[in-house]
Structure 1
Amino acid sequence: MSQKQIALACSVCGSRNYTVAANPNRTTRLEVKKYCKHCNKHTIHRETR
């Protein structure tokens, strides 16, 4: 059985660079500081639905 995947989108350019496994127990959207290859810097990436 495969896990459901969600995308992480850059808050600056909106590019969806990363995917992570969905967690049904999480009530708020995940926010992680990650590297964006389009912006060429570390930015906040937010969970998209």
Structure 2
Amino acid sequence: MAKNKGTRILITLECTECRSNLEKRSPGVSRYSTQKNRRNNPERLELKKYCSHCNKTTLHKEIK
């Protein structure tokens, strides 16, 4: 029997400071790919991750 795909989906996290700040160290936006469980976390995910463009730990939010 084939197993069900499950509730885990692939999401992208994007740096909130890179998106809004034009005077940063280097051009570009920091993005991370990860998975989340749709049942446990139905709302958008927000994590603190390292941004190589800002050169510090910043808030990364889930994007579509």
Matched residue SS, 1:12: helix
Gaps of 5+ in 1: none
Q: Which one has the bigger strand percentage? A: 1
RMSD of aligned residue pairs (Cα, Å) = 1.8
Q: Which one has the bigger helix percentage? A: 2
TM-aligned CA deviation for residue 13 of structure 1? 0.6
Over residues 4-47 of structure 1, what are the superposed CA-to-partner deviations in whole Å (9 max), with x where a residue is unaligned?
42110001013242001142212211010010000111000001
| Alignment check: 8 A CA contact 1:7 1:16 kept | no
Q: Which has the larger radius of gyration?
A: 2
TM-score by length of 1: 0.77
Flag as ranges the 4+ runs of structure 1 deviating above 4 A: none
- Give the fraction of aligned pairs with identical amino acids, expressed as a percent: 42
| Alignment check: 8 A CA contact 1:4 1:21 kept | yes
TM-score by length of 2: 0.62
| Alignment check: 8 A CA contact 1:30 1:47 kept | yes
